[in-house]
Amino acid sequence: MYAGKVAYIYKGTMPEGTHLTLRSNTRAISVDAFRNQAGLVSINIPATVKYINGNCFPWCPNLTNIKVASGNTAYDSRNNCNAIIETATNTLIAGCNASSTPTTVTAIGNSAFKGCYDLTDSQLHDNITSIGRSAYVSCTGLTSLRIPAKVNSIDATAFIGCDNIASITVDNRNTTYDSRRNCNAIIETASSKLVRGCMNTIIPDGIVTIGEYAFRNYMTMTHIHIPASVTSIESEGFMYTYALETIICEAMTPPAINGSSFFEENYQHSKLYVPRAAINAYANAEYWKEFVDIRATEDLVRGDAEDDEQLSINDATLLIDYLITGNAPGVNLHNADFNNDDAVSIDDRSMFIDYLITGH
């Protein structure tokens, strides 16, 4: 359906295997114009198009071919990249599972890969400087993430729903962000704010803020350890963490949170461990007091990777699986840190196995 010369929306459901060519006099493509069209396989953008809302192809899982006609002065698909690039700014504004990001691109635009479930590589090459709002939302095929040295802007919503990411690294030359101590997270260096974590994040001591949406939608994450340095957890920091069984918070003063910092299910079903001397403070603090089960961190058992309050060969097996694969669902990384050095490594495995054999 057109509104004048604007491709406004596709009415109904596209047949499987649809190859779409827009009218030759099309001037613009509206927001959500082809939203949720699983039948869309390819689209041709004519040279007449001068405005495209970047969120025009969300959740089109079978779209594999995007082409902007030569002669278009506003947009291009340089290097047959199967994406739409805003020519003047070198911003990739719309891509698909089959896109390749040319090295001349310097920004990933808002909603650029939204709903590209089968995208397995974020293609954040060394010339990328910014990652926009909802850029990779629901890209569940991503299992690792590398932030290049030049990136100086990452929207808080950029990776929401990428719930299979198990590894995050930031180039050590980056002056805006870091992933200090191999923590598997993106940290804003100047503010010590953790802006995006993953299922294997170990939040380093010294982090002050857990940012907005930092762990949102990690639905298989079972444990999290919040160090004593954290003073606040922003909106939706742990929203939709359905499987979160254990929350360890070392701060003596309850960090500032709001009604959406945690998921409602967490209050009912997660075990909250805090310093014994601070239990009353948490039990009376706004929102923290909603946790039904508050326990003392002093009662945690080092080495209890399985988090069943006993030490056994199962804990060693779970720890070994984590060290081999980088991802072992159910592992309590705080407890697995047997030598208490804020890292889970081969040293923890060796020390724990020695303990099981010798008893000390």
Tens-place pLDDT, residues 326-339: 766 678 777 777 77
In angstroms, the CA 232 to CA 325 distance is: 32
In angstroms, the CA 318 to CA 211 distance is: 29
| Tokens encoding 251 | 């701060």
| Tokens encoding 23 | 């009218």
In angstroms, the CA 225 to CA 203 distance is: 7
> The whole model's pTM is what?
0.87
Name the segment(s) of the chain with CATH classification 3.80.10.10.
1-142, 170-300
Residue 110: what pLDDT? 96
Question: What's the pLDDT tens digit per position in 213-245?
Answer: 999 999 888 889 999 999 999 999 999 999 998
For residue 343, pLDDT beyond 90: no
| C-beta of residue 101 within 8 angstroms of C-beta of residue 125 | yes
Residue 65: what pLDDT? 97
Residue 360: what pLDDT? 64
Higher pLDDT, 108 or 357: 108
For residue 306, pLDDT beyond 90: no
Residue 329: what pLDDT? 67
Q: Which residue has the tokens 């967490």?
A: 266
Provide the H-helix boundaries in 68-157. Answer: none
Tell me the mean pLDDT in the region 22-30.
Answer: 96
Tell me the mean pLDDT in the region 309-330.
Answer: 77
Q: What homologous superfamily does CATH list for 170-300?
A: Ribonuclease Inhibitor (3.80.10.10)
CATH topology of domain 1-142: 3.80.10
In angstroms, the CA 257 to CA 285 distance is: 10
Distance from CA of residue 1 to its chain's centroid?
Answer: 35
Name the segment(s) of the chain with CATH classification 1.10.1330.
303-360
In angstroms, the CA 67 to CA 41 distance is: 12
Average pLDDT, the chain: 92
Tell me which architecture the domain covering 303-360 has in CATH. Answer: Orthogonal Bundle (1.10)
* Confidence at 54, pLDDT banded by 50, 70, 90: confident
For residue 175, pLDDT beyond 80: yes
In angstroms, the CA 75 to CA 238 distance is: 38
| C-beta of residue 109 within 8 angstroms of C-beta of residue 135 | yes
Residue 348: what pLDDT? 74
Count of alpha carbons within 13 Å of 175, Cβ hemisphere only? 1
